[in-house]
Amino acid sequence: MWLLPALLLFLPGFSTAKDQITGPSMVSGQERGSLTVRCRYDPHWKGHKKYWCRGADWGTCATLVQTDTSEKLVEKNRVSIRDNQTDFIFVVTMEDLRTSDASIYWCGIERIGNDPGFKVNVNIDPDPQIPVLTVTTTAPVLTSTPSTRENTGNHGETQTNPPTWSLLSSIYFLILVFLELPLLLSMLSAVLWKHLFNV
């Protein structure tokens, strides 16, 4: 009785490398906060290196942290990884999150041949503590931001500058309202017009 469902669960594991590891397809964290991702793997990958990779393309993503086949915690910059070989799970933690951390990541297992991987979408919600401009009918006013944002000295990471970002987003908003919206509306009315009178 149990054999058929068991086979159905088991068989796909052989079909592609991707089924050998699972995790959340979407994770959210708040700017300046942290997030944790748990990836479960097939027990036979126990003694393999596990890693966390950034980039939409699985073949070319950049590994941020990697275990050394043991359960030892490995930390690099604001990211850590720990393998649990009793539970067959590895845990990735990203700390001091920035909006620029939003990306596609992968839980991966190193092996000879095609590494098994699982795609994880990471969202970062902007910190409500950081003043973000609300667009009014008047020209945008730059608000001052606390200059006490700690810089932990990580390389390869540019910190987003909230005033610039706000200005850019208000410019984008203006473009959206004054250019894209009328364009969309005119296209919509053209389609409607055609539909109503031309058919």
Binding interface with ligand NAG (CB under 6 A): 71, 82, 84, 86-87
Q: Work out how close the CB of 92 gets to ligand NAG at its nearest, in angstroms, rounded to a whole number.
A: 13
Of the two residues 70 and 152, which places its CB atom closer to ligand NAG in the complex?
A: 70
What is the CB neighbour count within 10 angstroms for residue 168? Answer: 12
Q: Work out how close the CB of 71 gets to ligand NAG at its nearest, in angstroms, rounded to a whole number.
A: 4
Of the two residues 48 and 98, which places its CB atom closer to ligand NAG in the complex?
A: 48
Of the two residues 36 and 154, which places its CB atom closer to ligand NAG in the complex?
A: 36
DSSP state letters, the chain: --HHHHHHHHTHHHH-GGGGEE--SEEEEETTS-EEEEEEE-GGGTTS-EEEEESS-TTTPEEEEE--SSS--EEETTEEEEEETTTTEEEEEE-S--GGG-EEEEEEE--SSSPPEEEEEEEEEPPTTS--PPP-SS---PPP--TT------TT-PPP-HHHHHHHHHHHHHHIIIIIHHHHHHHHHHHHHHHHHT-
Q: Work out how close the CB of 85 gets to ligand NAG at its nearest, in angstroms, rounded to a whole number.
A: 8
Of the two residues 61 and 92, which places its CB atom closer to ligand NAG in the complex?
A: 92
Q: Work out how close the CB of 38 gets to ligand NAG at its nearest, in angstroms, rounded to a whole number.
A: 11
What is the CB neighbour count within 10 angstroms for residue 166? Answer: 21
Of the two residues 43 and 146, which places its CB atom closer to ligand NAG in the complex?
A: 43
Q: Work out how close the CB of 82 gets to ligand NAG at its nearest, in angstroms, rounded to a whole number.
A: 6
Of the two residues 84 and 123, which places its CB atom closer to ligand NAG in the complex?
A: 84
Q: Work out how close the CB of 11 gets to ligand NAG at its nearest, in angstroms, rounded to a whole number.
A: 28
